[in-house]
Structure 1
Amino acid sequence: MPLYDPKNSVQMRRLPQGTKAPMVERRTCGECGKVRKEILRGRPCSVCRKQAEKEHARLRARTCAGCSTIREP
């Protein structure tokens, strides 16, 4: 049994621009600047975070454990 009848529902009002702008800002990636679905609050999105982890792993693979010298790629 449905909780409400969709035919009788009322459409929501549009959000004012003053409310919408901070909501978009919270979902904007701090690295690439793209607006994502999840709330980020200035942190990098999952795409940028994975890319940074991959670059860090490449650097770690080129770094000597004994003297911390970085080999050229």
Structure 2
Amino acid sequence: MKFFISLFLVSLSVVTALAQDHVQEVYGRENDRLEKLMNWSPGESRPELPPVIKFDREKIKPPEPKPMAVKEPLRQRNS
């Protein structure tokens, strides 16, 4: 049991490290773009910017709305 817990914790730390590395890469690239644009003045030629990753709407879709359950009206007792 301890082995599986250790294995889970190690894999979780590896995934976390990879995610942090990816986030740093993306934010670093966007910071470079922003810095070049902020230092650019209209009289100069436009700076060469790092590529932007295109947003693909087909890959990310909002969840489909679930149909709401219809509640039956409460029955009245015959007294």
Q: State TM-score, norm by structure 2.
A: 0.30
Structure number having the greater helix percentage:
2
From the CA coordinates, give the structure whose radius of gyration is larger.
2
Q: TM-score, normalised by structure 1?
A: 0.33
